[in-house]
Amino acid sequence: MRLTTRGRKTGRARTIGISFMPHGENFIIFAGFRGVDANWYRNVRATPEVRIKVGRRETNATAHVVDDPEERRQLMLQMQRRSAHCGPPRSFRPLLRLAGLFDYDAEIAMAVNAGSALPVVEVVPSERKQ
């Protein structure tokens, strides 16, 4: 997903690529590695109106922080189940881990274990397509 937030200090548009999980008509994004210090997360907290692009669809949306720790944990578990079908190809994961480049499965496990503490955001697209 391409996520565009409004900078909390500058007011300028800030765009990043971010992993997401479809959740019905909405999307779930996780602030895993940087947690509450992720700039996109801090921007969303200040101004929840965002713009997203998923595939060819681009639209305005509203980002809602998921406050309930149990709901965050459940979304993390759902993401863990889904992760078997996304991320680096399963055959490359051991090579990435052995090379010390990236341990995708360990990152997912860490996120699930810390799921009730990590920030989770639900992105609700606007009704009209842009």
Over the stretch 80-110, which tens digit does the pLDDT of each residue have? Answer: 788 777 777 888 888 888 998 878 777 777 7
d(C-alpha 39, C-alpha 5), whole Å: 9
pTM of the model: 0.78
d(C-alpha 79, C-alpha 106), whole Å: 14
**Strands across the sheet containing 49-54:** 13-17, 2-6, 49-54, 57-65, 120-125, 26-30, 21-23
Mean pLDDT per block of 10 residues along the chain (130 residues) reads 96 93 93 80 97 95 93 85 77 87 77 73 78
Domains, the chain, ranges and CATH? 2-125 (2.30.110.10)
Q: What integer pLDDT is reported at residue 54 of this predicted model? A: 95
